[in-house]
Chain A
Amino acid sequence: MNIIKIEHIAKIYQVGLEEVHALRDVSLTIDKNEYVAIMGPSGSGKSTLMNILGCLDTPTKGLYDFAGEKVSEMNDDELARIRNKQIGFVFQTFNLLPRSNALHNVELPLIYAGVGKEERTERAIKALENVGLEDRIYHQPNELSGGQRQRVAVARALVTNPSIILADEPTGNLDSKTGHDIMKLFNDLYDKGNTIILVTHEEDIAAHAERIIRLRDGLIEKNEIVKNRTIPE
């Protein structure tokens, strides 16, 4: 069953007088409960593709169908709704609100979704428990280690029960041991039935996925199934 279907997506930027083709012609599908990695060198368009997949940006050309809804034709408010309810972001730099504690950070998507206080708090605490941070609920980001911050970010991404988890270099700012812990977390989520899209330039990280989509110069170069994917201990 398709969660994501993009057809002939192109993204063209005007930089002064020049046109930059970040994406030229990209088509792909992603099914429910897939674990996909998107790889490519700098300038390959993988960040642009991720922004489009995450409904943060709209394509210049082409169709984007997200769980049956025509995202490519949506306005800002509709895109915000999809981002809120269907997509869970995990960023390389964590992107937590620095002056709010873990609980409030995880609550935030629920606030924007209009969920009442009691239910919100309950779900946020549960999400933090699921990532093993039940005793760090009231800590502020600056009181947490890098790995813990990323786990808060994962909890935040999960709290609305989204259709996909979109992770952009999730271990980029972490040491290898902590990175390993985070990849283990993702694996658990995958086992539980979540759909995970990983954007990375590291082979080791991409090897955790079932399938790797390789980009180069705004086009898909390869779409390979991973033999013997890495399963973290």
Chain B
Amino acid sequence: MNNYLFQLKEGLLISLKAIRANKARSVLTTLGIVIGVTSVVLMSTAIAGINKSFQSGVSSLGSDNIYIDKWSWFGGDLPWWKMRNRKPIKMDDYKEFKRLAKLPSAIAPSTFKTLNVKHGENVVDGVLVLGSTSEYINTTNLNFANGRFFTEIESKGARNVAVIGSNVAKKLFPRGNGLNKTVSLKGIKYKVIGVLEEQGSWLMQNFNPDNQVFIPIESMFKHFSSRRRGITINVRAPNSSMVDAITEEAITIMRRIRGLKYNEPNDFSINKQDALLKNIDQTIGIIKIGGFFITGLSLFVGAIGIMNIMFVSVKERTKEIGIRKAIGATRKTILGQFLAEASLICMIGGLIGLILAIIGSMIISQYDFPVSVQPGSVVLAIGISLITGIVSGLAPAYTAAKMDPVDALRYE
């Protein structure tokens, strides 16, 4: 065993020497691996980042919620044209639901409209404006940087008050506090009574609370939206173990409110957060497979490059191999030497690739793209480069080991 370790160490030292001696060639050889490893690591970092971002975005909305809507948000059971014909859910449905439901910890209606929000010279286009009641904040996990949500009185009175998300605040009030200032939606002035803390979920786009503005639903109906369009009822369970219970209760109540007979199917959908997460998981899974396939391909190309170069290297060093054998190197020693060389080149390439990927991640994260450097990536980088080295070095190393010393010494 000791002898093997000794041989390995010597093999590595000899390989290092050989690599240094052929610097240019070694650099070009590693290029394939560097690119391969960088792409694999960057990609897994980005995917981990996206995943984390989605998860945190979803959880900021409230993890124990169900959403009663005429539409089923995550597709699946019903074709959309069947859902289209359903009666929209109205404020009266919501009020009745609120009266009857006993289990939920918070219930709020919501409706959306996309509007431009202005303050003086500053405009944010295409903001998702969400109209709801004062209860809404209790159905979420949102925190305030400044101010507060609207009160029941403000809500019922359709006052022109608004709570804005952190990105909207940054764009409209670049110099800081937007509290108590006025923003205008379609020319109508609203007083900012609260600014939310940054949630930081880049990927939810308009559905990220950072990019939203919240106003009382009655105000929404008064100025921007028709009551006929229908609402969503947001329902929060006191804790996650009760989600199923509030779902059951909700179905029962809704069926009663909508006057459904026992044999009629639901004319509404209960949308749950875990369906969203499952959807995300599936999507991420597909992205992962696609991504790894592509980067795997680039690694494969890199490995072929290494095999090619190692063959050339072996051929070129025929005389050297002959000399080494004449001096007493066994086949195994020569095999080990060239395998070690291929592996070392690949591992150096892998290390460089890893470093580049980390730098790349830092650069991308400056552009607000979510990245999450995993310790697993390091193992991944080193592992694949080692394996690539051994696999692509095997055939050339074997060729070297098999050489007849007499012929090899004669080679010019």
Q: A interface vs B, CB < 8 Å?
A: 51, 54, 56-57, 76-77, 80-81, 83-85, 89, 91, 95-97, 99-100, 104, 108-109, 111-114, 156, 160
Contact = CB atoms under 8 A, between A and B. Distances in A.
Interface string B330-345: 1111000000000000
A95 B323 contact: yes
**Most central of A80, A83, A85 by chain B CB within 10 Å:** A80
Nearest to B409: A95
Contacts of B14: 111
Contacts of A99: 17-18, 21
A56 B327 CA distance: 10
B328 A85 contact: yes
A76 B6 CA distance: 21
Contacts of A51: 406
Contact of A109 (B6, B18, B322, B328): B328
Contacts, number: 62
Contacts of B328: 80-81, 83-85, 109, 112-113, 160
A20 B329 CA distance: 29
A91 B323 CA distance: 10
Contacts of B333: 112
Nearest to A81: B328
Interface in B9-26: 10, 14, 17-18, 21
Interface in B317-373: 319-320, 322-333
Given A56-B405, A56-B406, A99-B17, A108 B330 contact: no
A80 B409 contact: no
Interface of B: 3, 6-7, 10, 14, 17-18, 21, 319-320, 322-333, 405-406, 409
Nearest to A77: B330
12 contacts: A76-B330, A83-B325, A83-B327, A83-B328, A89-B326, A96-B323, A97-B320, A97-B323, A99-B17, A104-B17, A112-B330, A114-B6
Given A56-B406, A100-B17, A114 B332 contact: no
A32 to B, nearest CB: 21
A219 to B, nearest CB: 21
Nearest to A48: B406
B325 A80 contact: yes
A100 B327 CA distance: 15
A89 B18 CA distance: 23
A89 to B, nearest CB: 5
Given A97-B320, A99-B21, A76 B327 contact: no
A112 B6 CA distance: 10
Contacts of B21: 99
Nearest to B325: A80
Contacts of A85: 328
Contacts of B320: 97
A99 B327 CA distance: 17
B325 to A, nearest CB: 7
Nearest to B401: A76
Contact of A91 (B18, B330, B406, B409): B409
A84 B18 CA distance: 22
Contacts of A109: 327-328
B264 to A, nearest CB: 85
Contacts of A89: 326-327
Contacts of B7: 114
Contacts of B324: 108, 112
Contacts of A77: 330-332
* Nearest 3 A/B pairs, CB to CB: A84-B328, A99-B21, A80-B330
A31 to B, nearest CB: 24
Contacts of A57: 406
Nearest to B332: A77
Given A77-B330, A89-B327, 16 more contacts: A56-B326, A57-B406, A76-B331, A77-B331, A80-B330, A80-B331, A83-B328, A84-B327, A95-B322, A95-B409, A99-B17, A100-B17, A104-B17, A112-B327, A113-B328, A156-B327
B8 to A, nearest CB: 12
Contacts of B325: 56, 80, 83
A134 B151 CA distance: 94
A65 to B, nearest CB: 20
Nearest to B10: A111
Nearest to A82: B328
Nearest to B14: A111
Contacts of B6: 114
